Amino acid sequence: MDDVTFAVLGTGGIGRRALEVSQHKDHLTPVAACDRHGTAIDFDGLDVDELLAATEGNIDSGPQDDVATDGGATATTEGVKQHGDDKGVVASKQARPSDDPIQDVIDHGDGIDAVLLALPNYEHDFIPRVADRFLEGDYSGVMIDVLKRSRVIGMLDERTDAFEDAGITFICGAGATPGLLTGAAALAAQSFVEVESVDIWWGVGLKSGYEDNRGTVREDIAHLPEYDIDTARDLSDEEIEAIIDDHDGVIEFEDMEHADDILLERAGICDAEDVEVGGILDVRSDEKPTTTTVSVTGRTFDGETATNTFQLGDETSMEANVNGPALGYLKAGVRRNRAGEYGVFGPAELMPGF
Alpha helices in 36-159 (DSSP H): 48-55, 101-107, 126-136, 151-157
CA atoms within 13 A on the CB side of 124: 13
Phi, psi (rounded to 5 degrees) for 30: -75, 125
Q: 219 an active-site residue?
A: yes
75 forms bridges with which residues in the sheet?
Answer: 67
d(CA 300, CA 308): 11
**144 to 84, 244, 254: CA distances (angstroms):** 32, 30, 26
In 3D space, the residue among 91, 145, 118, 123 whose CA is nearest the CA of residue 11 turns out to be: 118
Whether omega before 178 lies within 30 degrees of 0, making that bond cis, reads: yes
d(CA 269, CA 276): 14
Catalytic pick among 81, 223, 258, 288: 223
Q: 265 an active-site residue?
A: no
182: Cα separation from own chain's centroid: 13
Question: In this structure, are residues 280 and 173 in contact, taking their beta carbons and an 8 Å threshold?
Answer: no
Catalytic pick among 37, 81, 148, 331: 148
Catalytic pick among 78, 219, 265, 349: 219
Q: 196 an active-site residue?
A: no
d(CA 102, CA 94): 17
**Which residue numbers are catalytic?**
148, 219, 223
